[in-house]
Structure 1
């Protein structure tokens, strides 16, 4: 032992186009890394302008301001004595690249452009950037004058190269490149690179972290090496929440891991590692034979050592990360915890950055608006915990949105008390509402501490109904009163849309009523399955400013509520779980109570299956049917499966237009139907799919019915 290196990676809550704030957070992370003895600091992808600039990357201003921030960073004494890996867009020969800029002692060592771009799902990097296609090749990049004035350099290497210090070698890998089949770290490692940096803008999705961690571990398990993973954290201006979780892995083992969900803007993760452990891991014959024939990378040499040179110069507190002394199991949250934490952090970022005074939600007494309210409660709990730890930024943001003076001594350490200031709920009842839903809404509001109001809106509904009758001479009736399907639907939609109008009125005026300034953001509460099926009214109370559950399935929401009942000490949540989901938009009679699943013609669990097959498995109507014949054939006949498949695709197609106005929602599921960013499908369909449905019917008619056959126990045991 004696070749010890202290390395730092970080998660930063950067905000698109917030150049000043991004600069300050970068400098804070560098200062923290140096204070812990680190000689290499790695930051998230495109950390200078923020990852989520989208089409702003096509503007020359974004590149110009990124260079200005870099010049300011390079001018600082804080960057002396440490190698820093920074992210920004760079225009090289009139082509825009997503780059890492490696700097040391007021010099740029290397600009490394991204070679494999993320261009599916939520990402459109090929819209803004061009991949660097000249592998293991580099060129001269001529620096802008504002950088030349600081670094005294005219040109620097640009391309696929590595950085060689006096004691080791560093290679750069960018986000998507880790996920590709032929990742660059393999060839770099065979050519002697021992430390790999990965700067990411990777978003949260339920159950996704495990894949990321396994890829990071695998990257160095058979290859050997040190892997520094940095990630963006927080909401940087869109539907995604970047979930941090910066980590350091060595030889296939995680030795340091940051938090996945946090209100902290800057989190630095460090570990002290013996580089000799990497060399020992690589001392195998087969690896050596492959390495001996590996193609060479250009090395940019820097007269600087990452190792301390002396064992006694390493701080005792950093020794916990020393490989061979302690490695840690990777930490994962359960899906229920992810729902409690991810959307809550996203809501906090949205609230503080929009500079509004709180949230408003119409509480229906059902599980969806309940889940939304409980996520806000989780946000208040996180704020209270951060305030109790003395986190200055959280306290300052809380004081501003509650109307407290900057020099106030107010601390939001009680989540219920904080909620009473910034969270507003309202039960909007009609003659079709039940006593049970009204009671549940009130009890939930009391349990979480929201400022709650209760109203009946029958007079408003009646006024609209009377207006229509006065104009047309016709009076629509509900189905239970003898009305047609069109009349019944119109009368339901009147109630739903009026709730949206009232929500915005109360959101704008409730702070004024309470003697405060500003307004509230309206929260939506349509889950991903209802959006997928189109089981919502266009421009009703599902239309809001943002929706924290719009990317979460009903199945997962139920599990989350069951978790929150115990974890948050909210026994009232049991009554929401036991209740039958209902919109309560039709009159209740002795023989009829409206039910969501009956209205939809399918269960929420079935909707989740359809959603994943349509989006994730890329199935059309026919391939969905053929797959479900195998999955559901034990309890449904081919004819029954065919009817369910046809009903889903028909309803999805004819309601697809609703996705064009869908409230921006927290992205949590891989089958989100969000038309605006994620699910790029048309919104006008031949909704009866005559060719596809005919083929399904023909095949269903000749397939054997296995649904009534006894199950073969030997196949399940």
Structure 2
């Protein structure tokens, strides 16, 4: 028993339903933690099956398979001598629970079910699990027969409890541990909760005084009355947070704030573990395993990495926690607290006296948290996600239709970022990455040594132009970028295929559609644009299927096609259904135009790609209409709003939960011509709606813009149902899968009650403005 203890938080690259692979990574992380002197290892939420199993959590196999894998961990003697916190789903009384399994020396100390389930945004835990609704209570869990044979008992405690060791108490927002003296332990009433057999010597359960360490899941931390509050008042010293938290731009800052504040006031050791990587869905789990002591970060893992097993350890001094809690006010609150947790007692000590006497061992010092910029997050998150997706899909590489515009440029630059990350991992000796590169990039026996060399083997770009619609500038920009990043590039025209489709209409119905610049109607113009767009999608997939074989790749294979529609265009449907926005995956589908521009501007310098400057300076255009001496198609002119305005509309609609009328009420002030300047140029709420750089409009112009946005959104909503799966990067993403569920057949917005309310409020505002103007004129 000692005051110095070493703990481990892990970030594993789990893959949904990769049972043996997931278990292998769990065991490897336990072994590494032990090698580094840790006596407590905390894993991520549902790490045995992988967090992203979705409706597989409704299948009996998922639960029985999880116990099969837990059996392997229980039998592996390499996992002895350390308390292990493992995440797995558990069936109890025919109810499904999201649980933490606390293991020591081949025995189960406690099964702790999650109490507060995540059920917003991308999370649907209520669809798959039920919460544990009995705080500070436990009951017996009947173990499966194959587990009974190993642990020697038929039942273990199931519920909201903490683990008490001779030197501390462990718990979490998903188990807790308490600090007691050896005398307390020897005198404890060892009530046998294990009715089917003799209780192991190092496990008992009773109510006794002492400090505890609670366990949390990620959602429990985000709740107003988080479990760590009551647990800390009841003596818990170490909090284990097992998370399944996915990436969103700049979300880490909020997460760090919540985690550090959890122990800044209450004191304690906080161990945060999270899954890392793509586990088979649109989400990237961004790791960042951490250890925090009294609100100070003392260890932090990577947020983005290609390593499948990352273990972060820290040595902490428990006396620092106790000293932090010496304030009289805290003692009074603890005395008044009615939350008394059941202690699951064990003879196993987290620390030992020898470590206290070893002067070479010192507590880990506070460090400054590492927080990436938006530009870095886009490069690293999307790059790591694409590599995970590629290596696990079995495909031969990626293909991007490169238009010469900034969106497809961003997608191609992200693939180049992926190649940079992979090459660096190879240089760092990551054997898993080296093996994957050997398997995927196998046109010759020589391993690529530069990002460009890797790009040339696994990345194809293709420019599909039209002689009248496509400009020399876009064609040249596409070529320059492909040369700079090393992609295998194809430059072709699709005029013949387009003309064949156009003739098909003429031959069938005797009508020849014309472009608007040639006198055609809006519908004719739209028809001809869509033919081009859809031909490009078909062409991209054709080349993706045949190129690896044509280029002589051993075993052939196919390329995954990447889409390049940004979040703003998806919101208002500024894309053709089943055009090049239809692909296998879209790495920029929830990123707005402004962030993409910032990323490209950053990459120009960071990646040494001077050709990117031309993309930044070019006017966004779809180039689907013929170019004339007085007309060039413009994206923002077509949409009737700027990309900046689109971003604001998107944030207010989803994040601020505003409909048409609510958005008008907000923007009529934020975009007012007469608004006061805000110090620093922003209004401080983070949505970008206000601030000195926001638009300045009359109330009538605001009403017109809001109506136009919601009209376009409603009539194009059906397109969202077939959008390419996009890497989730923003919380205002319109992704239809489960993040933003809406109807796709709307009543005509122009006649809606919301629009009528806007008109009524606009009339009231304009009447008041007229009165104020009249009074002002009289005063002259």
Q: How does 1:317-328 map to 2 (within 5 A)?
A: 319=362, 322-323=363-364, 326-328=365-367
Task: Give the TM-score of the pair, scaled to structure 1.
Answer: 0.96
Q: How does 1:309-708 map to 2 (within 5 A)?
A: 309-311=353-355, 316=360, 319=362, 322-323=363-364, 326-403=365-442, 410-431=446-467, 432-516=469-553, 517-634=556-673, 635-688=696-749, 689-704=751-766
- 2:199 is matched with which residue? none
Asked whether the 8 Å contact 2:4–2:356 carries over to 1, the reply is no
1:358 Cα deviation after fit? 0.1
Per-residue deviation at 1:694? 1.5
Question: Cα distance, 1:290 vs. partner?
Answer: 1.2
Alpha-carbon distance between aligned partners in 2 of 1:413 and 1:285, rounded to the nearest angstrom: 62
| CA–CA separation in structure 2 for the residues paired with 1:262 and 1:404 | 26
Question: Would you say 1:23 and 2:29 are equivalent positions?
Answer: no
The whole-number CA distance in structure 2 between the counterparts of 1:215 and 1:192 is: 21
- Residues 1:182 and 2:235 are matched in the alignment: no
Cα distance in 1 between the residues matched to 2:752 and 2:39: 65
- Contact 1:649/1:687, CA 8 A, preserved across alignment: no
Q: Which runs of 4+ in 1 moved over 4 A?
A: 312-316, 704-707
- The SS at the match of 1:661 is coil
- Could you say which residue in structure 2 is the equivalent of 1:279? 322
Normalised TM-score (structure 2): 0.88
- 2:649 and 2:224 mapped to 1: Cα distance? 29
2:304 corresponds to 1:265: no
Distance 1:152 1:313, change over 3 A: farther
Aligned position for 2:200: none
Preserved contact between residue 529 and residue 604 of structure 1 (Cα < 8 Å): yes
Distance 1:315 1:515 in 2: 61
Q: Distance in 2 between matches of 1:15 and 1:309?
A: 40
Task: State the alpha-carbon separation in 1 of the partners of residues 436 and 151 from structure 2.
Answer: 37
Q: CA deviation at 1:342?
A: 0.6
CA distance in 1 between partners of 2:478 and 2:33 (Å): 48
Partner of 1:713: none
The alpha carbon displacement at 1:242 in A equals 0.3
Q: 1:207-226, aligned counterparts within 5 Å?
A: 207-226=250-269
Aligned equivalent of 1:147? 147
Which residue in 2 is equivalent to 1:129?
A: 129
Deviations 1:114-154 (A, max 9, x none): 00000010000000000000111000001001111111121
Question: Which structure 1 residue ranges, 5 or more long, are not aligned?
Answer: 711-717
User: SS state of the match for residue 703, structure 1?
Assistant: helix
Is the Cα contact below 8 Å between 1:387 and 1:411 reproduced in 2?
Answer: no
Residue 759 of structure 2: SS of its match in structure 1? Answer: helix
Secondary structure at the aligned position of 1:194 is classed as strand
**Deviation per CA, 1:186-233, whole angstroms, max 9, x where unpaired?**
101111110000000000000100010011100000100000000010
Offset at residue 78 of structure 1 (A):
1.4
Q: Is the 8 A contact 2:74 2:107 kept in 1?
A: yes
Matching residue within 347, 356, 363 for 1:303:
347
Give the conservation status (yes or no) of the 8 Å contact 2:443–2:457: no
**Shift in Å at residue 293 of structure 1?**
2.8
> Contact (CA 8 Å) 2:567, 2:592: kept in 1 or not?
yes
What is the RMSD computed on CA atoms of the aligned residues?
1.5
Where in structure 2 are there 5+ consecutive unaligned residues?
Answer: 172-214, 674-695, 774-780
Secondary structure, counterpart of 1:463 in structure 2: helix
Q: Does 1:251 align with 2:294?
A: yes
Alignment of 1:108-127 (within 5 A): 108-127=108-127
CA contact (8 A) 1:138 1:158 kept: yes
- Is the 2:572–2:713 Cα contact (8 Å) retained in structure 1? yes
Aligned residue pair count: 701
In the TM superposition, residue 311 of structure 1 has moved relative to its aligned partner by: 3.2
Specify the SS of the correspondent of 2:126.
Answer: helix
